[in-house]
Amino acid sequence: MPSSENNSLYASAQKNLLVFGSSFLPDVIVKTSGLYLYTASGKKIMDWTSGQMSCLIGHGHPAVVKTITEHAANLDHLYSGMLSPPVIQLAERLANVLPDGLDKAMFLSTGGESNECAIKLAKMYTGKFEIVGLGASWHGSTSGARGAQYHAGRKGYGPIVRPGMHMLPSPDSYRSIFRNKDGSYDWETELDYGWSLIDKASAGSLAAVIMEPILSSGGMIVIPPGYMAAMKEHCRKRDMLLIVDEAQTGLGRCGDLFAIQYEGVVPDILTLSKTLGNGLPLSAVITSNEIAKVTEERNFMFYTTHANDPLPAAVGLTVLDTVIQEGLAQQAKTIGPQLHAGLHRLMERYGCIGDVRGRGLMAGVEIVSDRETKAAAIEFGKNLSARIMELGLSAIISARTTFSGCIRIAPPLTITNDELSEGLAIFEEALRTTQGSMPLY
């Protein structure tokens, strides 16, 4: 299509679509396939964000297309209380690949919905109401999930609907002021200090902590080794539950099928979304037999129109089987270091990169104006991200001033070595041709 077609579509969008968080990108996408996006003006763009960090096995994967086609024709949507084979099979498959203690599942549509459900489960099981989140967290836009997140989305709506929401400092090794004498990050003291404040603020009704293994929206902040185990111990001491949100890390993204396996911690409740549906609206809440039994006896209710729908559950089963059968978690573990090595080479070459972090095929590139002060370079980061897109690579900066600016990278696990090299070359060309990148040699 000519550029005029793109301009016409974009003008219509500007006229008729509600802005819901950030401005729309100027390129209108008319087709997706594998690792690529195609625009109305004829551009081909490599997708290094997997859509909204969701298309884990690429756009239009043949197995997913086949599943959708078959179930759209034969088994699409049912009354929420009705059972279907895909729902039963997906619950069984998840229970089989997850550690003991994560035994029973239910399926919903979005990550926010699954976290809302998890919070309600925790409240009913414990009989308490206070929820603790991390400072750079993102758990969704429903009232309970939003109340437990602090990265963005709290201002302008009046009081948070649910009382008893508390915040711990994010375990940000790059920016935290908590340091050992040798300058290394002292997360233990930071975490203990955070809990000392929560204990003072608490009404004596602490129910649960909700946390991500990698705080993606908050800037790809990777929790330190031992942090999740320490968090679970803090929960145990206070008779709280631990909820882990694996919206983006689940199903192999970081080199393990689930990030909790890397940490060696079994949470009381696990939520999945994004990657489970490969871009379709599907999420899961998985918990223990004990919690399931007690909450059922207390008449726990979380009815929604699309609870346990067969079509998305069938897609989730296909995605899980594909990841396992094709060894895609191992693929992320193998090719991920090449991604991080390439990004570190760019950091050695350009002073605007203050930090590179992540694990597996999940990476963050923090953009700064000064490495010594770590001052954020938001406007330059926006320009760089736009230039990257112009050159044919989607790697969008999260330009929220709540944490500075970080380019988040999470390509499909099906990416090849050649595609990885091509994307890194585009990234380097964007740095070379964007004023303010601060070349070091």
**Residue 439 counted as domain residue:** no
Q: Which of 48, 138, 187, 195 is catalytic?
A: 138
Give the SS3 label for residue 28. coil
Model pLDDT for residues 82-119, shown as the tens digit of each residue: 999 999 999 999 999 999 999 999 999 999 999 999 99
Domain-located, residue 385 = yes
Q: Is 309 helix (H, G, I), strand (E, B) or coil?
A: coil
Q: Which of 102-106, 153-157, 212-216 has the lowest mean pLDDT?
A: 153-157
Residues 285 and 411 grouped into a single domain: no
pLDDT at 5 over 90: no
Decide if 441 contacts 349 (C-beta within 8 A): yes
d(C-alpha 397, C-alpha 384), whole Å: 9
CATH number for the domain spanning 181: value is 3.40.640.10
| 257 shares a domain with 142 | yes
Could you say which of 274, 333, 359, 400 is catalytic? 274
pLDDT band at 143 (very low <50, low <70, confident <90, very high): low
Would you call 408 a catalytic residue per the annotation?
Answer: yes
Clarify whether residues 407 and 428 are in a common domain.
Answer: yes
Read out DSSP for 110-154? Answer: -HHHHHHHHHHHHHHHHS--EEEEETT----SSHHHHHT--SSS-
Catalytic residue among 212, 246, 256, 309: 212
Q: State residue 352 phi and psi, 5-degree precision.
A: -75, -15
Same domain, 178 and 268: yes
Burial (CB < 10 A; 0-12, 13-18, 19+), residue 200, is: exposed
For residue 122, what pLDDT is reported?
97
- Is residue 188 part of the annotated active site? The answer reads no
User: Is 440 a domain residue?
Assistant: no
344 shares a domain with 312: no
Residues 338 and 389 in one domain: yes
| Alpha carbons 64 and 317: distance in angstroms, whole number | 10
* Co-location of 149 and 183 in the same domain: yes
Domain boundary (307, 325, 343) is at: 325
- Residue range 405-426: average pLDDT? 95
- Domain range for 266: 64-325
Residue 70 a catalytic site member: no
Res 149: pLDDT:
62
Residues 207 and 266 in one domain: yes
Packing angle, helices 310-325 and 328-349, rounded to 10: 80
Is the same domain home to 156 and 262? Answer: yes
Residue 31 lies in a domain: yes
Residue 438 lies in a domain: no
d(CA 364, CA 345): 14
Pick from 375, 354, 374, 376: nearest CA to 365:
354
Closest by Cα among 233, 213, 241, 187 to 359:
213
- Looking at 260, 295, 325, the residue that finishes a domain is 325
**pLDDT the model gives residue 147:** 62
Which entry of 128, 248, 256, 359 is annotated as an active-site residue? 248
User: Which among 123, 359, 408, 419 is annotated as catalytic?
Assistant: 408
Query: Does residue 383 sit in the same domain as residue 255?
Result: no
Q: Is 163 exposed, middle or buried (0-12, 13-18, 19+ CB in 10 A)?
A: exposed
Residue 441 included in any domain: no
CATH value at residue 40: 3.90.1150.10
Q: Is 435 labeled as catalytic in the residue annotation? A: no
CA distance 242 to 232: 6
Q: How many domains does the chain have?
A: 2
| pLDDT over 80 at 157, yes or no | no
Which residues, including other chains, have CB under 8 Å from residue 18's CB and lie 6 or more apart? none
What is the predicted pLDDT for the residue at 19?
Answer: 86
What confidence category does residue 398 fall into, taking pLDDT thresholds of 50, 70 and 90? low
Last residue of a domain, one of 290, 305, 325: 325
Residue 345 falls within a domain, yes or no? yes
Are residues 129 and 32 part of one domain?
A: no
Of 196, 284, 286, the C-alpha closest to 238 is 196
Under the banding of pLDDT at 50, 70 and 90, the label for residue 26 is: confident
- What's the pTM value of the predicted model, to 2 decimals? 0.92
289 and 379 assigned to the same domain: no
* Residue 1 confidence (pLDDT): 44
Nearest to 247 by CA among 291, 211, 289: 211
